[in-house]
């Protein structure tokens, strides 16, 4: 009994994937919804325009302005220090 639900979900997932691959998933779901009385028709007579358009940013943005300024702090890098990388 416990595996029945598991196999049901697996088969249902495979059916949904197959229908989506063929492009008939939405039609099947609309038909199913209308059979059980849940389907509502989409009003396509009125389309709303987007109120404004923001074009994509083309220029490079310098994000280093976010970093705080630390004046006088200089951390030297010691290349002679053995960090265990050469083992």
Q: Would you state the pLDDT for residue 75?
A: 58
Which residues of the chain are under the pLDDT cut of 70?
1, 64-87
To 10 degrees, what angle do helices 25-36 and 2-22 make?
120
Quote the CA–CA distance of 55 and 58 in Å, as a whole number. 9
Enter the pTM of the model.
0.45
| Residue 30 near residue 39, CB atoms below 8 Å | yes
Give the angle subtended at the CA of 61 by the CAs of 67 and 75, to the nearest 5°.
30
SS3 of 39-62: the string is CCCCCCCCCCCCCCCCCCCCCCCC
């Amino acid at each position: 009994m416990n595996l029945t639900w598991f196999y049901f979900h697996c088969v249902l997932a495979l059916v949904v994937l197959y229908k989506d691959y063929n492009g008939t998933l939405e039609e099947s779901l609309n038909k199913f919804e209308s059979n059980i009385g849940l389907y509502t028709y989409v009003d396509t007579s009125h389309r709303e325009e987007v109120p404004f358009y923001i074009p994509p940013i083309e220029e490079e943005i310098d994000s280093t302005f976010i970093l705080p300024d630390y004046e006088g702090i200089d951390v030297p890098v010691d290349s002679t220090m053995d960090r265990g990388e050469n083992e």
